[in-house]
Copies of this chain bind each other. A is one copy, B any other.
Amino acid sequence: MSMPPISRFPAPDLADLPNDIRERIKAVEEKSGFIPNVFLALARRPDEFRAFFAYHDALMEKPGGLSKAEREMIVVATSGLNQCQYCVVAHGAILRIRAKNPLIADQVAVNHRKADLEPRQRAMLDFAVKVAERSQAIEDVDYEALKVYGFSDDDAWDIAAISALFGLSNRMANVTNMRPNDEFYMLGRIPKT
């Protein structure tokens, strides 16, 4: 079987990409052992590539009140509801690795209410899911439900922004038929010893 296409749009040739984008892609490849398709899919549009990953890094890599595993929980829960294959599979892998838990991603993707979560994580995902599905109805009471578990208003911003950024990403992946790399499916399923 030949490799299936990475998306509806042809992947650009690495050699044709601007230096900064090619460098970022090579760095990812070195670290992961493969190039996640989202990098090639978005590289077709260098300015959008740069903006997307700048936004991603601003939310997912910075210090703050949410652990990195919790941020990935938000991505997986909302991507499940948005029915985005790429993000559920790729960020499911990252969540398994960051949480050091081989089960959590599949649980959160299907129904966060039934997943093995701490109460604060449950509250965090309830907020994130409401942002994804009915942001027009977010009000003080939703912030207060977060405060019970120690989340500040800036934590609420983080939760909302991650849900919103991946809502963008989910829509682009759905519209372009972005395909998760086969490698993601197994990542983080076998705990390292």
A residues apposed to B, CB below 8 Å: 4, 8-9, 45, 47-48, 50-52, 54-55, 57-59, 62, 80, 82-85, 88-89, 92, 102-103, 106-107, 109-111, 113-116, 131-132, 135-139, 153, 156-157, 160-161, 163-165, 167-172, 174-177, 182, 185-186, 189-190
Contacts and interface: CB of A to CB of B under 8 A. Distances in A.
A59 B174 CA distance: 18
Given A157-B176, A174-B138, A106 B89 contact: yes
A172 B58 CA distance: 15
Nearest to A169: B164
Nearest to A56: B51
30 contacts: A8-B153, A9-B153, A45-B157, A47-B54, A48-B59, A51-B58, A55-B55, A80-B110, A84-B111, A84-B136, A85-B106, A85-B107, A89-B107, A89-B110, A102-B185, A103-B182, A114-B136, A114-B174, A135-B175, A136-B174, A138-B175, A160-B171, A160-B175, A160-B176, A163-B171, A164-B169, A165-B168, A167-B167, A186-B189, A186-B190
A11 B82 CA distance: 32
Given A62-B47, A136-B111, A168-B168, A175 B189 contact: no
Contact of A185 (B57, B161, B189): B189
B58 A47 contact: yes
Contacts of A160: 171-172, 175-176
Contacts of A111: 83-85, 136, 174
Contacts of A153: 8-9
A124 to B, nearest CB: 14
Nearest to A79: B110
A63 to B, nearest CB: 12
